[in-house]
Amino acid sequence: MRGAVIHAPGDVRFEELDNPKISRPTDAIIRTVATCVCGSDLWPYRGLEPVGDPHPMGHEYVGIVEETGSEVTHVKPGQFVVGSFATSDNTCANCLGGWQSSCLHREFMSTCQAEYVRIPNAHGTLVATDGHPDGELVPSLLAVSDVMGTGWYAALAAEVKPGSTAVLVGDGAVGLCGVIAARELGAERIIAMSRHESRQKLAREFGATDIVSERGEEGIARVKDLTGGIGADSVLECVGTAEAMRQALHSARPGGNVGFVGVPHEVQVDGVELFFSHVGLRGGPAPVRRYLPDLIDRVLSGRINPGKVFDLTLPLDQVAEGYKAMDERRAIKALLKP
Ligand SMILES: [Zn+2]
Ligand SMILES: [Zn+2]
Protein backbone atom coordinates (compact mmCIF):
# COMPACT_ATOMS: atom_id res chain seq x y z
CA MET A 1 0.00 0.00 0.00
CA ARG A 2 0.98 3.63 -0.13
CA GLY A 3 0.91 6.40 2.46
CA ALA A 4 2.39 9.69 3.64
CA VAL A 5 5.81 9.80 5.30
CA ILE A 6 7.40 12.93 6.75
CA HIS A 7 11.17 13.08 6.21
CA ALA A 8 11.96 16.60 7.39
CA PRO A 9 10.16 19.90 7.90
CA GLY A 10 8.40 20.76 4.65
CA ASP A 11 9.12 17.31 3.20
CA VAL A 12 6.12 14.96 3.15
CA ARG A 13 6.25 12.16 0.56
CA PHE A 14 3.73 9.62 -0.66
CA GLU A 15 5.52 6.28 -0.52
CA GLU A 16 5.22 2.53 -0.81
CA LEU A 17 4.76 1.10 2.72
CA ASP A 18 4.19 -2.36 4.21
CA ASN A 19 0.55 -3.32 4.47
CA PRO A 20 -0.56 -3.15 8.11
CA LYS A 21 -1.27 -6.50 9.78
CA ILE A 22 -3.29 -7.60 12.77
CA SER A 23 -0.72 -7.88 15.55
CA ARG A 24 -3.03 -8.18 18.56
CA PRO A 25 -6.48 -9.76 18.95
CA THR A 26 -7.91 -6.29 19.71
CA ASP A 27 -6.69 -4.81 16.38
CA ALA A 28 -8.63 -4.16 13.21
CA ILE A 29 -7.45 -3.17 9.75
CA ILE A 30 -9.52 -0.61 7.88
CA ARG A 31 -9.44 0.48 4.27
CA THR A 32 -9.33 4.27 4.38
CA VAL A 33 -12.36 6.01 2.85
CA ALA A 34 -11.18 9.49 3.81
CA THR A 35 -8.40 11.00 5.91
CA CYS A 36 -7.01 14.50 6.26
CA VAL A 37 -4.24 16.82 7.36
CA CYS A 38 -4.59 18.18 10.90
CA GLY A 39 -3.44 21.56 12.19
CA SER A 40 -1.27 19.60 14.64
CA ASP A 41 0.49 17.87 11.69
CA LEU A 42 1.79 21.32 10.81
CA TRP A 43 3.90 21.57 13.97
CA PRO A 44 6.54 19.09 12.70
CA TYR A 45 5.94 20.21 9.10
CA ARG A 46 6.88 23.75 10.11
CA GLY A 47 9.90 22.55 12.09
CA LEU A 48 8.32 23.64 15.40
CA GLU A 49 8.47 20.05 16.66
CA PRO A 50 11.37 17.68 15.90
CA VAL A 51 10.66 15.23 13.06
CA GLY A 52 13.25 12.59 14.02
CA ASP A 53 13.44 9.57 11.71
CA PRO A 54 11.10 9.50 8.71
CA HIS A 55 7.71 8.28 9.88
CA PRO A 56 4.09 7.93 8.68
CA MET A 57 1.59 10.67 9.49
CA GLY A 58 -2.11 11.17 10.11
CA HIS A 59 -4.58 10.49 12.92
CA GLU A 60 -8.02 11.29 11.47
CA TYR A 61 -9.90 8.61 9.58
CA VAL A 62 -13.08 6.94 8.46
CA GLY A 63 -12.98 3.64 6.65
CA ILE A 64 -14.35 0.21 5.87
CA VAL A 65 -13.36 -2.65 8.15
CA GLU A 66 -11.20 -5.13 6.22
CA GLU A 67 -10.14 -7.54 8.93
CA THR A 68 -10.59 -7.89 12.68
CA GLY A 69 -8.64 -9.59 15.47
CA SER A 70 -10.38 -12.35 17.43
CA GLU A 71 -11.46 -10.04 20.28
CA VAL A 72 -13.06 -7.46 18.01
CA THR A 73 -16.66 -8.56 17.82
CA HIS A 74 -18.80 -5.43 17.67
CA VAL A 75 -17.62 -4.36 14.20
CA LYS A 76 -17.40 -6.63 11.18
CA PRO A 77 -15.59 -6.60 7.86
CA GLY A 78 -17.51 -4.48 5.36
CA GLN A 79 -18.86 -2.00 7.92
CA PHE A 80 -18.22 1.76 7.69
CA VAL A 81 -16.54 2.95 10.87
CA VAL A 82 -15.52 6.17 12.60
CA GLY A 83 -12.84 6.19 15.28
CA SER A 84 -10.81 8.63 17.31
CA PHE A 85 -7.23 9.85 17.14
CA ALA A 86 -6.72 8.36 20.62
CA THR A 87 -7.60 4.66 20.78
CA SER A 88 -9.19 3.22 23.89
CA ASP A 89 -10.43 -0.12 25.20
CA ASN A 90 -13.59 1.58 26.49
CA THR A 91 -13.59 -0.68 29.55
CA CYS A 92 -10.86 0.55 31.95
CA ALA A 93 -11.62 2.89 34.85
CA ASN A 94 -10.69 6.01 32.89
CA CYS A 95 -12.80 4.98 29.91
CA LEU A 96 -15.76 4.22 32.16
CA GLY A 97 -15.30 7.68 33.66
CA GLY A 98 -15.66 9.16 30.17
CA TRP A 99 -11.96 9.93 29.73
CA GLN A 100 -11.20 7.54 26.88
CA SER A 101 -8.32 9.72 25.68
CA SER A 102 -6.64 8.84 29.01
CA CYS A 103 -7.40 5.12 28.54
CA LEU A 104 -4.92 2.98 30.47
CA HIS A 105 -4.23 1.22 27.13
CA ARG A 106 -4.33 4.34 24.99
CA GLU A 107 -2.37 4.49 21.76
CA PHE A 108 -2.38 7.61 19.62
CA MET A 109 -3.04 7.08 15.93
CA SER A 110 -0.22 8.22 13.67
CA THR A 111 -0.42 6.29 10.39
CA CYS A 112 -3.78 7.32 8.94
CA GLN A 113 -2.72 9.21 5.80
CA ALA A 114 -2.48 5.84 4.06
CA GLU A 115 -4.60 3.43 2.05
CA TYR A 116 -4.92 0.95 4.95
CA VAL A 117 -4.62 1.54 8.68
CA ARG A 118 -4.19 -0.71 11.71
CA ILE A 119 -6.46 0.41 14.55
CA PRO A 120 -5.18 -0.71 17.98
CA ASN A 121 -7.90 -1.17 20.63
CA ALA A 122 -10.38 -1.45 17.76
CA HIS A 123 -12.87 -3.20 20.06
CA GLY A 124 -13.24 -0.04 22.12
CA THR A 125 -12.44 2.60 19.54
CA LEU A 126 -14.46 2.02 16.39
CA VAL A 127 -18.13 2.90 16.01
CA ALA A 128 -19.96 1.55 12.95
CA THR A 129 -22.73 3.43 11.17
CA ASP A 130 -25.94 1.69 10.07
CA GLY A 131 -25.11 0.87 6.47
CA HIS A 132 -22.76 2.94 4.36
CA PRO A 133 -23.38 6.69 4.61
CA ASP A 134 -23.94 8.87 1.54
CA GLY A 135 -20.70 10.21 0.12
CA GLU A 136 -21.72 13.77 0.96
CA LEU A 137 -21.79 12.89 4.67
CA VAL A 138 -18.28 11.43 4.68
CA PRO A 139 -16.46 14.76 5.31
CA SER A 140 -18.61 15.46 8.37
CA LEU A 141 -18.09 11.95 9.74
CA LEU A 142 -14.37 12.37 9.19
CA ALA A 143 -14.51 15.68 11.08
CA VAL A 144 -16.13 13.86 14.00
CA SER A 145 -13.01 11.65 14.37
CA ASP A 146 -11.05 14.66 15.59
CA VAL A 147 -11.87 18.31 14.96
CA MET A 148 -15.61 18.15 15.70
CA GLY A 149 -15.02 15.87 18.69
CA THR A 150 -12.28 18.19 19.91
CA GLY A 151 -14.41 21.30 19.44
CA TRP A 152 -17.19 19.54 21.36
CA TYR A 153 -14.86 18.75 24.23
CA ALA A 154 -13.53 22.33 24.25
CA ALA A 155 -17.09 23.60 24.66
CA LEU A 156 -17.86 21.13 27.46
CA ALA A 157 -14.52 21.83 29.18
CA ALA A 158 -15.35 25.54 29.01
CA GLU A 159 -18.78 24.67 30.47
CA VAL A 160 -20.88 26.20 27.70
CA LYS A 161 -24.48 26.19 28.86
CA PRO A 162 -27.81 27.32 27.43
CA GLY A 163 -27.90 31.11 27.38
CA SER A 164 -24.18 31.56 28.00
CA THR A 165 -21.61 33.60 26.11
CA ALA A 166 -18.76 31.75 24.42
CA VAL A 167 -15.57 33.05 22.84
CA LEU A 168 -13.60 31.08 20.27
CA VAL A 169 -9.86 31.68 20.19
CA GLY A 170 -8.60 30.15 16.93
CA ASP A 171 -10.30 30.04 13.56
CA GLY A 172 -8.84 26.75 12.36
CA ALA A 173 -11.00 23.67 11.88
CA VAL A 174 -11.23 22.96 15.63
CA GLY A 175 -12.20 26.55 16.46
CA LEU A 176 -14.84 26.52 13.74
CA CYS A 177 -16.20 23.19 15.00
CA GLY A 178 -16.16 24.75 18.48
CA VAL A 179 -18.64 27.30 17.14
CA ILE A 180 -20.94 24.44 16.12
CA ALA A 181 -20.51 22.86 19.57
CA ALA A 182 -21.23 26.11 21.40
CA ARG A 183 -24.38 26.60 19.34
CA GLU A 184 -25.54 23.01 19.87
CA LEU A 185 -24.95 23.34 23.61
CA GLY A 186 -27.14 26.44 23.69
CA ALA A 187 -24.77 29.41 23.87
CA GLU A 188 -26.72 32.56 23.15
CA ARG A 189 -23.80 34.67 22.10
CA ILE A 190 -20.84 33.17 20.23
CA ILE A 191 -17.88 35.45 19.60
CA ALA A 192 -15.40 34.09 17.06
CA MET A 193 -11.94 35.64 16.94
CA SER A 194 -10.77 35.58 13.33
CA ARG A 195 -8.92 37.83 10.93
CA HIS A 196 -9.67 35.84 7.79
CA GLU A 197 -12.73 36.65 5.76
CA SER A 198 -13.50 33.12 4.54
CA ARG A 199 -13.18 31.75 8.09
CA GLN A 200 -15.32 34.57 9.52
CA LYS A 201 -17.98 33.67 6.97
CA LEU A 202 -17.94 29.98 7.93
CA ALA A 203 -17.96 30.88 11.64
CA ARG A 204 -21.13 32.93 11.06
CA GLU A 205 -22.67 30.10 9.07
CA PHE A 206 -21.92 27.73 11.98
CA GLY A 207 -23.60 30.08 14.47
CA ALA A 208 -21.18 32.82 15.51
CA THR A 209 -23.07 35.98 16.45
CA ASP A 210 -20.05 38.30 16.63
CA ILE A 211 -16.63 38.41 15.02
CA VAL A 212 -13.59 39.99 16.66
CA SER A 213 -10.71 40.51 14.27
CA GLU A 214 -8.40 42.24 16.75
CA ARG A 215 -5.75 40.27 18.62
CA GLY A 216 -3.75 40.64 21.80
CA GLU A 217 -4.75 43.46 24.16
CA GLU A 218 -7.08 44.96 21.56
CA GLY A 219 -8.80 41.62 21.10
CA ILE A 220 -9.26 41.20 24.85
CA ALA A 221 -10.65 44.75 25.11
CA ARG A 222 -13.06 44.08 22.25
CA VAL A 223 -14.35 40.89 23.92
CA LYS A 224 -14.85 42.81 27.17
CA ASP A 225 -16.77 45.50 25.27
CA LEU A 226 -19.10 42.80 24.02
CA THR A 227 -19.56 41.14 27.41
CA GLY A 228 -20.54 43.91 29.79
CA GLY A 229 -16.94 44.77 30.59
CA ILE A 230 -16.19 41.53 32.47
CA GLY A 231 -15.48 38.84 29.89
CA ALA A 232 -17.21 35.70 28.64
CA ASP A 233 -18.67 32.76 30.54
CA SER A 234 -16.78 30.26 28.39
CA VAL A 235 -13.66 30.55 26.27
CA LEU A 236 -12.52 27.80 23.90
CA GLU A 237 -8.77 27.97 23.25
CA CYS A 238 -8.14 26.09 20.02
CA VAL A 239 -4.60 27.10 19.03
CA GLY A 240 -1.98 26.12 21.62
CA THR A 241 0.32 29.14 21.51
CA ALA A 242 1.25 31.32 24.48
CA GLU A 243 -0.55 34.26 22.85
CA ALA A 244 -3.75 32.26 22.36
CA MET A 245 -3.76 31.01 25.95
CA ARG A 246 -3.21 34.51 27.25
CA GLN A 247 -6.01 35.76 25.03
CA ALA A 248 -8.29 33.02 26.37
CA LEU A 249 -7.52 33.52 30.06
CA HIS A 250 -8.02 37.27 29.81
CA SER A 251 -11.25 36.95 27.84
CA ALA A 252 -13.01 34.88 30.52
CA ARG A 253 -14.97 36.54 33.32
CA PRO A 254 -14.33 35.77 36.99
CA GLY A 255 -16.13 32.45 37.49
CA GLY A 256 -15.83 31.68 33.78
CA ASN A 257 -14.05 28.71 32.27
CA VAL A 258 -11.44 28.12 29.61
CA GLY A 259 -11.38 24.85 27.67
CA PHE A 260 -8.01 24.45 25.97
CA VAL A 261 -7.55 21.92 23.22
CA GLY A 262 -4.71 23.37 21.16
CA VAL A 263 -1.64 21.26 21.96
CA PRO A 264 0.39 23.72 24.09
CA HIS A 265 3.64 24.94 22.60
CA GLU A 266 5.66 27.03 25.07
CA VAL A 267 2.54 27.99 26.98
CA GLN A 268 3.21 29.19 30.54
CA VAL A 269 0.39 29.99 32.92
CA ASP A 270 1.20 32.38 35.75
CA GLY A 271 -0.01 30.84 39.00
CA VAL A 272 -0.68 34.13 40.78
CA GLU A 273 -2.56 35.52 37.80
CA LEU A 274 -4.64 32.35 37.55
CA PHE A 275 -5.31 32.44 41.30
CA PHE A 276 -6.74 35.96 41.17
CA SER A 277 -8.62 35.46 37.91
CA HIS A 278 -11.19 33.02 39.35
CA VAL A 279 -11.11 31.32 35.94
CA GLY A 280 -11.46 27.53 35.67
CA LEU A 281 -9.10 25.78 33.32
CA ARG A 282 -9.46 22.33 31.75
CA GLY A 283 -7.84 20.96 28.63
CA GLY A 284 -6.20 17.97 27.09
CA PRO A 285 -6.75 15.59 24.23
CA ALA A 286 -10.49 15.29 23.72
CA PRO A 287 -12.17 12.05 24.79
CA VAL A 288 -13.71 11.88 21.31
CA ARG A 289 -14.87 8.28 21.82
CA ARG A 290 -17.31 9.47 24.49
CA TYR A 291 -19.04 11.72 21.96
CA LEU A 292 -18.90 9.53 18.85
CA PRO A 293 -22.39 7.99 18.97
CA ASP A 294 -24.03 11.37 19.64
CA LEU A 295 -21.99 13.30 17.08
CA ILE A 296 -22.47 10.61 14.41
CA ASP A 297 -26.24 10.89 14.99
CA ARG A 298 -26.13 14.67 14.70
CA VAL A 299 -24.28 14.36 11.37
CA LEU A 300 -26.50 11.61 9.95
CA SER A 301 -29.65 13.53 10.90
CA GLY A 302 -28.31 16.63 9.12
CA ARG A 303 -28.30 18.68 12.31
CA ILE A 304 -24.62 19.59 12.04
CA ASN A 305 -22.35 19.78 9.01
CA PRO A 306 -18.78 20.13 10.32
CA GLY A 307 -17.45 18.71 7.02
CA LYS A 308 -17.67 22.26 5.68
CA VAL A 309 -14.30 22.92 7.29
CA PHE A 310 -12.76 20.91 4.46
CA ASP A 311 -12.27 23.51 1.77
CA LEU A 312 -9.78 21.44 -0.20
CA THR A 313 -10.18 17.84 -1.37
CA LEU A 314 -7.25 16.04 -2.92
CA PRO A 315 -6.40 12.51 -3.98
CA LEU A 316 -4.31 10.91 -1.23
CA ASP A 317 -1.28 10.76 -3.51
CA GLN A 318 -1.23 14.58 -3.44
CA VAL A 319 -0.93 14.65 0.35
CA ALA A 320 2.18 16.87 0.12
CA GLU A 321 0.09 19.58 -1.55
CA GLY A 322 -2.45 19.27 1.29
CA TYR A 323 0.26 20.11 3.84
CA LYS A 324 1.55 22.96 1.68
CA ALA A 325 -1.89 24.50 1.19
CA MET A 326 -2.61 24.41 4.92
CA ASP A 327 0.84 25.68 5.84
CA GLU A 328 0.36 28.63 3.49
CA ARG A 329 -3.16 29.11 4.87
CA ARG A 330 -4.64 28.66 1.40
CA ALA A 331 -6.85 25.95 2.91
CA ILE A 332 -8.51 25.58 6.31
CA LYS A 333 -8.31 21.80 6.11
CA ALA A 334 -7.42 19.33 3.38
CA LEU A 335 -9.44 16.13 2.93
CA LEU A 336 -7.59 13.25 1.28
CA LYS A 337 -9.23 10.43 -0.65
CA PRO A 338 -7.36 7.26 -1.55
ZN1 LIG B 1 -6.17 16.21 14.37
ZN1 LIG C 1 -9.64 2.41 28.70
Same-domain pairing of 8 and 140? yes
| pLDDT at position 222 | 98
Residue ranges making up the domain that contains 234: 151-283
Q: How far does residue 37's CA lie from ligand 1's centre (Å)?
A: 7
Q: How far does residue 69's CA lie from ligand 2's centre (Å)?
A: 18
Q: How far does residue 85's CA lie from ligand 2's centre (Å)?
A: 14
Q: Report yes or no: 118 and 22 within 8 Å, Cβ to Cβ.
A: yes
Question: How far apart are alpha carbons 129 and 62 in whole angstroms?
Answer: 11
Ligand positioned closest to the Cα atom of 93: 2
Ligand positioned closest to the Cα atom of 174: 1
Domain boundary among 257, 283, 309: 283
Ligand positioned closest to the Cα atom of 120: 2
Same-domain pairing of 292 and 279? no
Ligand positioned closest to the Cα atom of 108: 1
Mean pLDDT of the chain: 97
Q: How far does residue 272's CA lie from ligand 1's centre (Å)?
A: 32
Q: How far does residue 262's CA lie from ligand 1's centre (Å)?
A: 10
Q: What is the pTM assigned to this prediction?
A: 0.97
Q: How far does residue 273's CA lie from ligand 1's centre (Å)?
A: 31
pLDDT digit string, tens, across residues 195-216: 999 999 999 999 999 999 999 9
Question: How far apart are alpha carbons 79 and 256 in whole angstroms?
Answer: 43
Overall average pLDDT of the 243-252 stretch: 97
| pLDDT at position 273 | 94
Same-domain pairing of 234 and 117? no
Q: Report yes or no: 200 and 194 within 8 Å, Cβ to Cβ.
A: yes
Same-domain pairing of 100 and 157? no
Q: How far does residue 38's CA lie from ligand 1's centre (Å)?
A: 4
Q: Grade residue 279 by pLDDT with cuts at 50, 70 and 90.
A: very high
Smallest CA-to-CA distance from 176 within 159, 198, 158, 157 is with 198
pLDDT digit string, tens, across residues 307-321: 999 999 999 999 999
pLDDT digit string, tens, across residues 22-43: 999 999 999 999 999 999 999 9
* Overall domain count for the chain: 2
Q: How far does residue 53's CA lie from ligand 1's centre (Å)?
A: 21
Helices first, then strands: H and E counts in the chain: 12, 18
| pLDDT at position 18 | 97
Overall average pLDDT of the 149-166 stretch: 98
| pLDDT at position 87 | 98
Q: How far does residue 290's CA lie from ligand 2's centre (Å)?
A: 11
pLDDT digit string, tens, across residues 227-242: 999 999 999 999 999 9
CATH code assigned at 191? 3.40.50.720
Same-domain pairing of 160 and 275? yes
Same-domain pairing of 139 and 178? no
Q: How far does residue 111's CA lie from ligand 1's centre (Å)?
A: 12
pLDDT digit string, tens, across residues 56-98: 999 999 999 999 999 999 999 999 999 999 999 999 999 999 9
| pLDDT at position 54 | 97
The DSSP result for 141-181, as a single string, is HHHHTTHHHHHHHHHHHTT--TT-EEEEE--SHHHHHHHHH
Q: How far does residue 108's CA lie from ligand 1's centre (Å)?
A: 11
CATH code assigned at 310? 3.90.180.10
* Strands 61-68 and 80-82, bridge-based pairing: antiparallel
Same-domain pairing of 127 and 262? no
| pLDDT at position 232 | 98
Domain boundary among 283, 305, 323: 283
Question: How far apart are alpha carbons 78 and 65 in whole angstroms?
Answer: 5
Domain boundary among 268, 283, 298: 283
Ligand positioned closest to the Cα atom of 104: 2
Question: How far apart are alpha carbons 37 and 313 in whole angstroms?
Answer: 11
Same-domain pairing of 72 and 166? no
The DSSP result for 122-144, as a single string, is HHHH-EE-SSPPPGGGHHHHHHH
* Strands 312-315 and 334-337, bridge-based pairing: parallel
| pLDDT at position 197 | 94
Ligand positioned closest to the Cα atom of 147: 1
- Going from the C-alpha of 326 to that of each of 46, 70, 233, 312, 333, the distances in angstroms are 11, 40, 31, 9, 6
Same-domain pairing of 244 and 292? no
pLDDT digit string, tens, across residues 281-305: 999 999 999 999 999 999 999 999 9
- Count CB atoms within 10 A of the CB of residue 50: 8
| pLDDT at position 83 | 97
Question: How far apart are alpha carbons 335 and 327 in whole angstroms?
Answer: 14
Phi/psi for 188 (5° steps) reads -90, -35
| pLDDT at position 178 | 98
Q: How far does residue 126's CA lie from ligand 2's centre (Å)?
A: 13
pLDDT digit string, tens, across residues 256-277: 999 999 999 999 999 999 999 9
CB-count burial class (<10 Å; 0-12, 13-18, 19+) for 290: buried
Q: How far does residue 154's CA lie from ligand 2's centre (Å)?
A: 21
Q: How far does residue 145's CA lie from ligand 2's centre (Å)?
A: 17
